[in-house]
Amino acid sequence: MITISHLTMRLAGGGHQITILDDVTLEIPDKQRVAIVGPSGSGKSTLLGLIAGLDRPTSGSIALNGVEISTMRESALARYRRDHIGYIFQSFHLIPTLTALENVLVPLELAGMRTAQDRATELLQTVGLGERLHHYPVQLSGGEQQRVAVARAFACHPPILLADEPTGNLDSATGQHVMNLLLALHRDYGTTLVLVTHDRAIASSMERVIALRDGRIESDTLTDSDNRLAESAQ
């Protein structure tokens, strides 16, 4: 369960305070698929980053499965994020000097997993990169790099997966392939999936769509996505 209470984020700019998020309150149950949508500047990516503990709110609280992260010390937060949160960036953020396999190994080795090599290899095979294990990011296409990022995000079996415009830098066919992977992994692992998107088709594949405008929740809607996904699978 993600529990957000009266979350506000303000930044200094031009000699005054700019409000990015304004008194946001919401709950996201375990295993739910949620899209966060809204125009540029509405606070979508800021909200996602705060849920991940990548930034600190000005006020309010964020609890993940009952653990308050907004006041957690940085070292403890880093460990919690490693074990409980997967994060996928729009721009991939792979380490350029490491191969695909080594990029996925990083969180596993930090977690001290004894079978890290096998786990990383299995994940890359799952996302269709079994023959690209030893290629560096510069040798991979954008879609392949994003698939490495997906594998890395799922490496430690996180109960929460956050994705910031995961298809934003991809063509439509490649983006759909990456989304299919995310939905399959969500289904197989029971991960809570929260993503930011401008793509209406992607938003419609989620169970719930939260729309932001000017830092506030404009609407919060449940969809019939499960029926559409079932029909497309027939």
CATH of the domain at 27: 3.40.50.300
Are 155 and 119 contacting, i.e. CB atoms less than 8 angstroms apart?
yes
Angle (CA) 109 144 163, round 5°: 70
Q: Please state the domain count of the chain.
A: 1
Q: Domain range holding 67?
A: 2-233
What predicted TM-score, i.e. pTM, was given to this entire model?
0.88
Q: Using alpha carbons only, how large is the chain's radius of gyration in Å?
A: 18
* pLDDT tens figures, 63-122: 999 999 988 999 999 989 988 999 998 888 999 999 999 999 999 998 888 899 999 999
Q: Model confidence at 227, in pLDDT bands (50, 70, 90)?
A: low
Look at the block and give the residue holding tokens 């997967």.
Answer: 86
The angle that helices 100-110 and 116-126 make with each other, rounded to 10 degrees, is: 130
